[in-house]
Amino acid sequence: AAGAVLKRLTDDGLVARAAEIGATLRAALADRFGQHPHVGDIRGRGMFLGLEIVADRETKTPFPPEAALARRIKAAAFEAGLICYPMGGTIDGRRGTHVLLAPPFILTDDQVGELVEKLAIGVDTGLAEVRAAA
């Protein structure tokens, strides 16, 4: 079974396609979030990408753990139809919020835009909830 999976990944061009679509996804994330006041960094490799969410873009100051921003983003993104992996404590086990993206190899160009838009809904809604709770 493992050999069949590897054969499919390499012989059918899925690995090469993942590199291409990963570049497309990174560009779409940079376009949408590159100047976002609460995105400190966009990083990763291939289709395995993440956003660092910060309270202050210039200083990279994280949101306080009590804001539960990762939980809020996760719920809002899920409600919008996106399963992503927001995590808190990514700096030192307590502080820091990141959103990890790990879409399937079969992601299409059209779905990249959909993914980014749904992520934007999750991030913006989570941030709005944090502001409202403050």
- What span, in angstroms and rounded, lies between the C-alpha atoms of 11 and 122? 36
Task: Provide the H-helix boundaries in 34-108.
Answer: 69-80
Answer yes or no: is pLDDT of 102 > 90: yes
Answer yes or no: is pLDDT of 17 > 90: no
Which one is predicted more confidently, 16 or 55?
55
pTM of the model: 0.90
Q: What is the mean pLDDT of the chain?
A: 94
For the chain, helix, strand, coil in percent to 5 are 50, 20, 30
- What span, in angstroms and rounded, lies between the C-alpha atoms of 62 and 59? 9
pLDDT in tens, 61-93: 999 999 999 999 999 999 999 999 999 999 999
Question: Of all residues in the chain, what percent carry a pLDDT higher than 90?
Answer: 84
pLDDT in tens, 125-134: 999 999 999 8
Quote the pLDDT of residue 13: 81
